[in-house]
């Protein structure tokens, strides 16, 4: 086998000449072809983070509520009180979804669910953050984007609905940079008690190692390496690298593993995700400071004639590796047979620190587990600052009519109602969804723990393209603001860093700036990072995606009466804007959607202002004064007003008066200055709200009242009006019309 290792073969496995020399040094010899494949997947960016590990160390990862830190296990775990905890994480399945959107998205959901129940937690809900190219129009590109969009949504719905975990929220955005390279980021949260936390370590020398779940096939072969290179016109040939999911088998595996963990028979457990059997064996051994020996002859296989290379690198779905306590083998077998799952006692834990793989007793792979799993080369890539973003001369841009502009912004797929998507998701399963998809944050009642959790996913990639550091800071701030608007106190963050090829210096600069922005903002908002994912090489032949550091954030609502929704609630409530009228237009949706311009300096985030606004609103909510709350983000004040009229349980108008304004009306209505929240209150709380705002030293503007069948905005002496039904029609049916 040694003679088969040529420079071309090394490079085709994504390894450099220097990395190959390092492999030889670790082994003390040349690897065979199977060992080369094992190193190629474990040392890929997808598994090793070799181009980003230095940057990821900048994140804050500690805090009094952190029970399992980022990087220690499959997902982070945080305390939520009364002996209960939550495990949550976000992962990407971008490349597979570009090649095979249905299965790529479906298996992304299946993989993130397994990450959660591997921790001993019962998965209770899902979110997703999706990005596509524009779907409007009849061009070949738009038709392709619609195909990807339909397939991804169908795949997410299929897996989540079948396994019985509700998808309760998230975000979807559209931009030309994602043409041919959609981003599919999936988030899952599970609940567990502190004493139920499971570990992914091969503990106990002599303990048997069990394989359980679906049979191993050739689907997903070398998927980790596939996800660590650019997409190209040849990517359709990579369909074998896209896994095929079986949510019904996934449900059986979920229930069997949770029952098994409750039995006390498990010494360690690991999902077979990226890099499949290879990753699960070497990572459990490395974490445990032990070795693992398995014989591939015992692995259940779906297809005849599979080579050791194929078995080890397959990423077939719904599979787990279980380290069983000696003497508990029969109990484990009984549980697997009860749930009708294929299983095998495949090997044992050893004391020599080696990942040793046999095939019918013949050694095929013998590699030090720690060096394979934890000592991949780490690189500091070159970072080059690109030319600054174009300075915005807003006075040189023609003012578009406010009335028509609002209707167009509401129909922009990034802002428009995502009901076409959400009605495909069963968000009612488990009967815990309190605030359903479509609000600033979803709210879920975790019945086991008696806790109300709010969760959101956020990122404005247009800001990140223009200023990645500021855009990343704003992503954290917007996520926190969305949770605050729901009545929740933010707890912690998981992230998904989506960027282009890190070997391009401008791309790596974007990544480094974004990470530092995220880290800074997480510290200021007291939301440590408990885990996440890096997805690089998001490039198609037309170029790189805009930098998209997606933030998933979770918060806790201590009392049910503090749950707040974004839609206006009843006639005659007062409407307020906290945080000022603003005037920042750079990178705004108005410029992008109405004028076709992605230019300017994006809004600046001011932490003291943001934190004061958050504290003000939380105190107002807890005092019982707030009827609804909605953050001002894409489209600014006008879009926030319209959504508050049309996105609640009832459609209701509003009468707004801003008074004399020296600037342009479009700047007033559509600017995206940060840390602003639109909220409504009962009329009798006016004095208390003003006193509270004075105490926090923030701007509080009384805008008008809820009521009627129109949204009427008076600016000085000019009155602009929209029928609520017209606003609703533009917003609610836009995506459905685009893909019809």
pLDDT in tens, 287-323: 999 999 999 999 999 999 999 999 999 989 999 999 9
- Please give the backbone phi and psi of residue 376, each rounded to the nearest 5 degrees, phi first: -65, 150
CA distance 500 to 510: 9
Asked whether 436 and 427 are in contact (CB, 8 A), the reply is yes
For range 666-680, the mean pLDDT: 97
State the residue for tokens 């008066």: 657
**Number of other CB atoms surrounding residue 399 within 10 Å:** 13
Question: Is pLDDT above 80 for 235?
Answer: no
Q: Using pLDDT thresholds of 50, 70 and 90, give the confidence band for residue 274.
A: confident
354 and 214 in one domain? Answer: yes
- Return the pLDDT at 450: 96
Structure tokens at 276: 């499949």
- Tokens 């004095």 belong to residue: 687
Domain contains 484? yes
3-state SS assignment for residue 18: helix
Strand order across the 718-723 sheet = 626-631, 677-681, 574-578, 700-706, 654-659, 710-715, 718-723
Mean pLDDT of 232-254: 73
Confidence band for 517, pLDDT divided at 50, 70 and 90 = very high
How high is the pLDDT of residue 263?
Answer: 96
Residue 229: the pLDDT is: 45
Contact partners, residue 682, CB within 8 Å, separation at least 6: 573, 574, 625, 627
Same domain flag for 274 and 350: yes
Q: How confident is the model at residue 542 (pLDDT cuts 50, 70, 90)?
A: confident
DSSP letters, 661-673, are: -SS-HHHHHH---
Q: Is 683 exposed, middle or buried (0-12, 13-18, 19+ CB in 10 A)?
A: exposed
303 close to 253: Cβ distance less than 8 angstroms: no
**Distance, CA of 254 to CA of 248 (rounded, Å):** 10
The residue whose two tokens read 């108008």 is 653
Phi and psi at 626, nearest 5°, equal: -95, 130
Q: Distance of CA 315 to CAs 108, 256, 437, 475, 663, Å?
A: 12, 20, 31, 32, 58
Rounded to 5°, angle at Cα 36 from 32 and 42 = 145
pLDDT at 220 over 90: no
Paired strand residues for 532: 495
What per-residue confidence (pLDDT) applies to 226?
A: 43
Question: 431 or 90: which carries more pLDDT confidence?
Answer: 90
Q: Is the dihedral of CA 413, 416, 422, 427 positive or negative?
A: positive
Q: Which of 343, 358, 375 is the last residue of a domain?
A: 375
Q: Say if residue 510 is in the same domain as residue 534.
A: yes
> How confident is residue 261, by pLDDT bands cut at 50, 70 and 90?
very high
Query: What is the rounded CA–CA span in Å between residue 628 and residue 569?
Result: 7
Within 8 A by CB and 6+ apart from 559, the residues are: 452
Residue 137 lies in a domain: yes
Task: Give the CATH number, domain containing residue 462.
Answer: 3.30.1330.10
Same domain, yes or no, for 232 and 306?
yes
pLDDT of residue 234: 52
Q: What is the dihedral of CA 721, 727, 729, 734, to 10 degrees?
A: 130
CA distance 723 to 280: 58
Nearest in space to 532 (alpha carbons), one of 170, 66, 90, 60: 90
User: HSE on the CB side for 562, CA within 13 Å?
Assistant: 22
For residue 237, what are the CA distances in angstroms to 128, 240, 316?
Answer: 27, 8, 18
Among 508, 543, 563, the domain boundary falls at 563
CA 565/CA 439 separation, integer angstroms: 7
Helix (H) or strand (E) holding 697: none
Are both 570 and 517 inside the same structural domain?
no
**Burial (CB count within 10 angstroms: exposed 0-12, middle 13-18, buried 19+), residue 7:** exposed
CA nearest neighbour of 163 among 229, 218, 98, 116? 116
Mean pLDDT of 366-394: 89
Q: 433 with 427: CB under 8 angstroms?
A: yes
Q: What is the DSSP pairing of strand 354-359 with strand 291-295?
A: parallel
Structural domain contains residue 641: yes
Give the domain-ending residue among 505, 530, 563.
Answer: 563
Q: Which is more confidently placed, 717 or 483?
A: 483
Q: Which two tokens stand for residue 346?
A: 């495949």
pLDDT of the residue at 701: 97
What is the spatial distance between Cα 574 and Cα 561, in angstroms, rounded to a whole number?
20
Residue 117 lies in a domain: yes
* Statement to judge: residues 146 and 224 lie in one domain: no
Instruction: Give pLDDT tens digits for 44-68.
Output: 988 899 999 999 999 999 999 999 9
- Rounded CA Rg of the chain: 26
Question: d(Cα 590, Cα 372) in Å, to the nearest integer?
Answer: 50
User: Tokens standing for 230?
Assistant: 């650019």
User: Is 293 strand, coil or helix?
Assistant: strand
pLDDT-based confidence at 447, cuts 50/70/90? very high
What is the rounded CA–CA span in Å between residue 471 and residue 477? 10
Give the pLDDT of residue 660. 75
Q: Does the pLDDT value for residue 494 go beyond 60?
A: yes
CA distances for 478 relative to 245, 474, 672, angstroms: 34, 6, 12
Listed range (1-15, 496-510, 558-572) with the worst mean pLDDT: 1-15
Those residues with Cβ within 8 angstroms of residue 259's Cβ, 6 or more apart along the chain or in another chain? 335, 339
Do residues 94 and 232 both lie within one domain? no
* Token pair in block for residue 112: 């993130």
**CA dist., res. 703 & res. 660, Å (int):** 13
Which residues partner with 173 through β-bridges?
131
Q: Which residues contact 305 (CB under 8 A, 6 or more apart)?
A: none
Q: Which residues of 187-212 are buried (b: 16+ CB within 10 A; e: fewer)?
A: bbbbbbeeebbbbbbbbbeebbbbbb
Lowest mean pLDDT among 204-208, 225-229, 487-491, 531-535: 225-229
Instruction: Tell me: do 230 and 135 sit in the same domain.
Output: no
Residues involved in catalysis: 46, 93
The half-sphere exposure of 277 on its side-chain side, counting CA atoms within 13 A, is: 37
User: Looking at the domain assignment, is residue 44 inside a domain?
Assistant: no
Q: What is the pLDDT of residue 661?
A: 75
Strand, coil or helix: what is 445? strand
Two tokens at 316? Answer: 């077939």
Please provide the distance, in angstroms rounded to a whole number, between the alpha carbons at the two ends of the chain: 55
pLDDT at 238: 47
pLDDT band at 206 (very low <50, low <70, confident <90, very high): very high
How many domains does the chain divide into? 3
Q: Kindly tell me the burial class for residue 267, based on how many C-beta atoms sit within 10 Å of its own C-beta (0-12, 13-18, 19 or more).
A: buried
> How many angstroms separate the CA atoms of 15 and 235, rounded?
19
In a domain, 410, yes or no: no
If asked whether residues 228 and 154 sit together in one domain, one would say no
Same domain? For 345 and 247 the reply is yes
Q: Is residue 102 part of a domain?
A: yes
Claim to verify: residue 457 and residue 534 sit in the same structural domain: yes
- Mean pLDDT in residue range 613-632: 98
Exposed/middle/buried for 717, CB within 10 Å: 0-12, 13-18, 19+?
exposed
Mean pLDDT calculated for residue range 24-36: 95
Helices (H), ranges, 118-221: 140-163
- Percent share of the chain, pLDDT over 90: 89
The DSSP code for 325 is P
Question: Domain containing 117: what range?
Answer: 62-197+432-563
Asked if pLDDT for residue 348 goes beyond 90, the answer is yes
Domain harbouring 341, CATH code: 3.90.650.10
Mean pLDDT across the chain: 94
In a domain, 368, yes or no: yes
Count CA within 13 A, CB hemisphere, residue 93. Answer: 32
Tell me the pLDDT tens digit for each residue of 110-169. Answer: 999 999 999 999 999 999 999 999 999 999 999 999 999 999 999 999 999 999 999 999
629 and 580 belong to one structural domain: yes
Distance of CA 681 to the CA centre of its chain: 33
Tell me: pLDDT of 223 over 90: no
């Amino acid at each position: 086998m040694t003679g088969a290792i040529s420079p071309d073969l090394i490079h085709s496995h994504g390894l450099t000449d220097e990395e190959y020399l390092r492999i030889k040094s670790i082994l003390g010899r040349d690897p065979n072809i199977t060992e080369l494949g094992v190193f190629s997947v474990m040392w890929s960016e997808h598994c090793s983070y070799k181009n980003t590990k230095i940057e990821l160390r900048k994140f804050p990862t500690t805090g009094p509520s952190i029970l399992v830190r980022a990087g220690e296990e499959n997902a982070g775990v945080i305390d939520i009180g009364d002996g209960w905890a939550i495990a949550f994480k976000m992962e990407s399945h971008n490349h597979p979804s570009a090649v095979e959107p249905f299965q790529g998205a479906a298996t992304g959901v299946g993989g993130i669910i397994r990450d959660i129940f591997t921790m001993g937690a019962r998965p209770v809900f899902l979110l997703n953050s999706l990005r596509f190219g524009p779907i409007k129009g009849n061009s070949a590109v738009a038709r392709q984007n619609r195909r990807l969009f339909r397939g991804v949504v169908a795949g997410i719905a299929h897996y989540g609905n079948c396994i019985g975990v509700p998808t309760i929220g998230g975000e979807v955005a559209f931009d030309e940079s994602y043409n041919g390279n959609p981003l599919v980021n999936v988030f899952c949260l599970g609940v567990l008690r502190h004493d139920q936390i499971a570990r992914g370590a091969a503990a106990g020398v002599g303990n048997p190692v069990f394989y359980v779940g679906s049979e191993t096939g050739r689907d997903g072969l070398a998927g980790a390496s596939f996800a660590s290179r650019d997409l190209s016109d040849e990517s359709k040939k990579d369909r074998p690298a896209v896994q095929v999911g079986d949510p019904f088998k996934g449900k059986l595996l979920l229930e069997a593993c949770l029952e098994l963990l409750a039995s006390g028979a498990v010494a360690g457990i690991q999902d077979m995700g990226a890099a499949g059997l290879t990753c699960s064996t070497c990572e459990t051994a490395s974490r445990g400071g032990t070795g693992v020996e398995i014989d591939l002859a015992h692995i259940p296989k779906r297809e005849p004639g599979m080579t050791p290379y194929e078995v080890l690198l397959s990423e077939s779905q719904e599979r787990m590796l279980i380290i069983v306590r000696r003497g508990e083998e029969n109990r484990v077998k009984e549980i697997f047979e009860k749930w009708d799952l294929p299983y095998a006692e495949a090997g044992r834990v050893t004391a020599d620190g080696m990942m040793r793989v046999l095939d019918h007793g013949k050694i095929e792979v013998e590699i030090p587990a720690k060096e394979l799993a934890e000592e991949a080369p780490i690189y500091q890539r070159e970072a080059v600052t690109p030319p600054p973003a174009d300075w915005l001369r807003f006075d040189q841009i023609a003012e578009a009519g406010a009335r028509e502009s609002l209707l167009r912004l509401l129909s922009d797929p990034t802002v428009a109602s995502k009901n076409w998507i959400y009605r495909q998701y069963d968000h009612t399963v488990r009967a815990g969804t309190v605030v359903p998809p479509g609000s600033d944050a979803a709210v879920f009642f975790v019945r086991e723990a008696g806790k109300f959790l709010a969760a959101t996913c956020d990122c404005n990639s247009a800001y990140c393209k223009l200023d990645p550091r500021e855009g990343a800071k704003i992503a954290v701030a917007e996520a926190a603001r969305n949770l605050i608007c729901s009545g929740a106190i933010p707890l912690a963050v998981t992230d998904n860093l989506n960027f282009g090829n890190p070997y391009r210096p401008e791309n790596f600069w974007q990544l480094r700036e974004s990470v530092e922005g995220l880290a800074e903002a997480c510290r200021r908002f007291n939301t440590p990072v408990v885990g996440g994912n890096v997805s690089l090489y998001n490039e198609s032949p037309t170029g790189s995606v805009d930098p998209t550091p997606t933030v998933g954030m979770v918060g806790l609502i201590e009392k049910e009466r503090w749950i707040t929704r974004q839609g206006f609630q009843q006639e005659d409530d007062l409407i307020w804007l906290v945080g000022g009228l603003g005037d920042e237009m750079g990178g705004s949706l108005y410029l992008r959607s109405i004028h076709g311009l992605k230019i300017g300096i994006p809004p600046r985030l001011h932490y003291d202002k943001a934190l004061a606004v958050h504290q003000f609103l939380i105190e107002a909510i807890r005092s019982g004064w707030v009827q609804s709350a909605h953050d001002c983000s894409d489209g600014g004040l006008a879009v926030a007003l319209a959504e508050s009229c049309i996105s609640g349980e009832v459609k209701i108008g509003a009468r707004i008066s801003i008074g004399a304004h020296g600037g342009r009306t479009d700047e007033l209505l559509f600017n995206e200055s940060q840390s602003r929240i639109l909220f409504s209150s009962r009329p009798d709380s006016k004095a208390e709200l003003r006193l509270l705002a004075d105490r926090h030293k923030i701007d509080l503007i009384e805008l008008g009242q809820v009521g009627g069948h129109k949204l009427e905005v008076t600016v000085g002496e000019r009155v602009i009006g929209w029928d609520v039904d017209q606003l609703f029609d533009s917003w609610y049916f836009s995506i459905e019309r685009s893909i019809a």
